[in-house]
Structure 1
Amino acid sequence: MTETRQRVGWIGTGRMGAPMAERLARAGVDLAVWNRTAAKAEPLRAHGAAISGTIAGLRDRDVVFTMVATSADLDQVLAELLGDGDGPGVVVDCSTISMEASAAARRACAGRGTAYLAAPVSGNGKVARAGGLSLVCSGPRETYDRVAGLLTHLGKSATYAGEGETARLVKIAHNLMLGVVTQTLAEITVLAEKGGVPRHAFLEFLNDSVMGSAFTRYKSPAFVHLDYTPTFTPVLLRKDFDLGLAAARALDVPMPVTALAAQLIQASLGAGRSDEDFAILLDLQAAASGLELKPEDVAVDDGLGS
Structure 2
Amino acid sequence: LSNKGLYFLDAPCTGSKPGAEKATLTFMIGGDQDAFNRTKPYFEPMGKQFYYCGGPGMGLQAKLTQNLILANIMQAFNEGLVLSTKGGIEPGLMLEILENSAAKSGLIAFKAPYVFKRDFSTNFAAKWMHKDVTLALESAREMDIPLPQTSLTQQMFRAAMAMGFADEDICATVKVMEQWAGVEIKAQQH
Q: What is the TM-score normalised by the length of structure 1?
A: 0.58
Check if 1:138 corresponds to 2:30. yes
**Pairwise CA RMSD:** 2.0
- 8 Å contact kept, 1:230–1:277: yes
Corresponding residue number in structure 1 for 2:170 = 278
Corresponding residue number in structure 2 for 1:169 = 61
**Cα separation, 2, equivalents of 1:292 and 1:242:** 28
CA 250–278 in structure 1, closer or farther in 2 if over 3 Å, else same = same
Deviation at 1:133, TM superposition (A): 2.1
Q: Which amino acid counterpart does residue 31 of structure 2 have in structure 1? A: G
**Cα separation, 1, equivalents of 2:3 and 2:166:** 38
Corresponding residue number in structure 1 for 2:15 = 123
Structure 2 portions without partners, runs of 5+: none
Q: Secondary structure at the match of 1:274?
A: coil
Percentage identity across aligned positions?
Answer: 28
Residue 91 (structure 2) aligned to one of 199, 204, 213: 199
Q: Which amino acid counterpart does residue 134 of structure 1 have in structure 2? A: T
Deviation at 1:276, TM superposition (A): 1.1
Corresponding residue number in structure 1 for 2:104 = 212
Q: Secondary structure at the match of 2:140?
A: helix
**Cα separation, 1, equivalents of 2:29 and 2:112:** 29
Deviation at 1:162, TM superposition (A): 0.9
Structure showing greater relative contact order (alpha-carbon pairs closer than 8 Å, 6 or more residues apart): 2
More helix by share: 2
Q: Secondary structure at the match of 2:167?
A: coil
Q: Secondary structure at the match of 1:229?
A: coil
Corresponding residue number in structure 2 for 1:67 = none
Corresponding residue number in structure 2 for 1:248 = 140
**Cα separation, 1, equivalents of 2:100 and 2:39:** 37
Q: Which amino acid counterpart does residue 52 of structure 2 have in structure 1? A: Y
Corresponding residue number in structure 2 for 1:264 = 156
- 8 Å contact kept, 1:225–1:297: no
Larger Rg: 1
Deviation at 1:141, TM superposition (A): 1.1
Q: Which amino acid counterpart does residue 233 of structure 1 have in structure 2? A: A
Deviation at 1:210, TM superposition (A): 3.1
Structure 1 portions without partners, runs of 5+: 1-106, 299-306
Q: Which amino acid counterpart does residue 49 of structure 2 have in structure 1? A: S
Check if 1:158 corresponds to 2:63. no
**Cα separation, 1, equivalents of 2:42 and 2:118:** 37
Q: Which amino acid counterpart does residue 162 of structure 2 have in structure 1? A: G
1:73-106 residue CA offsets vs partner (Å, 9 max, x unmatched)? xxxxxxxxxxxxxxxxxxxxxxxxxxxxxxxxxx
Q: What is the TM-score normalised by the length of structure 2?
A: 0.90
- 8 Å contact kept, 1:138–1:160: yes
- 8 Å contact kept, 1:186–1:281: yes
Instruction: State how many pairs are aligned.
Output: 190
